[in-house]
Amino acid sequence: MEQPADRHSEWFVPRFGPRRFRLAVGLLFLPYTGMVLSYAVIGSVLAADVYWDRVGALALIYFLGLGIAAHALDALGSKGVKPWGSAFNKGQLWLAVIVSLVLAYGIAGYYMLRYVPLLLVIALLEGFFAFAYNLEWFGGKFHTDGWFAFSWGFLPVTAGYVMQTNRLGFAALAVGISASLFSLIEIKASRPYKELKRRSGALREEERRLLERYETLLKSVSLGVCLLAAGLFLWCITEK
């Protein structure tokens, strides 16, 4: 059987607190979740007029739908490997999925019914990819780097813009493609990083250096995207 990665030593898992707390935070993959929330913010501030309640609502929707639900589904779909050990059983993971998605779609439904019906298209697509990608439906056809970049890069930017305007725009589409390329960098680096991390106890020196390079790349791209969103947010509230 394939050996699980040592998730305790992942760079995004806190070094403090009880083991269960640390793994619960790790399950959220906060740097990568932060990238997706940042894409939603970036898409939002492209609009001429920004409704800040919608920015906050969409960030919460993605935190629930991706940060919790999709990552819990990823743990459930890990094909015999339990990436977080015995910290969470299947029942707990499914409960997290159901509660998070009900809340996320409840919030989204309110805005779709009152202001932005076009958001329904993106909501359905994101819901589909949350299951199809992480549980590897259809023989893993949608569990690819390209679909990852589309669902967690392109769609969040367009969701942010649609949430503000109830329409699509060329600027949002262009920035969405840019975000998908950043997400492609993330997933292309994450896969070999995870494989090396899984064998971290028996790596040769050159492999350890390669592991460090991948980790630096992942830290840089996630922090860079989050800082970009923060900078645009500050610009929007102070200069726009």
Q: Is residue 16 part of a domain?
A: no
What is the reported pTM? 0.93
Q: How does DSSP assign 3-72, residue by residue?
A: PPP-GGG-TTS-SSS-HHHHHHHHHTTHHHHHHHHHHHHHHHHTSSS--HHHHHHHHHHHIIIIIIIIHH
Q: Is residue 7 part of a domain?
A: no
Residue of 157, 151, 124 whose CA lies nearest to 47: 157
List the domain range (segments joined by +) for residue 225: 27-238
Q: Is residue 234 part of a domain?
A: yes
Q: Is residue 20 part of a domain?
A: no
Decide if 22 contacts 84 (C-beta within 8 A). no
Q: Is residue 11 part of a domain?
A: no
What's the pLDDT at 202? 76
Give residue 4's pLDDT band: very low, low, confident or very high (50, 70, 90).
very low
Q: Is residue 5 part of a domain?
A: no
| Total number of domains in the chain | 1
Q: Is residue 18 part of a domain?
A: no
pLDDT at 47 over 90: yes
Q: Is residue 150 part of a domain?
A: yes
What's the pLDDT at 199? 78
Other residues' Cβ atoms within 10 Å of the Cβ of residue 131: 17
Decide if 7 contacts 85 (C-beta within 8 A). yes
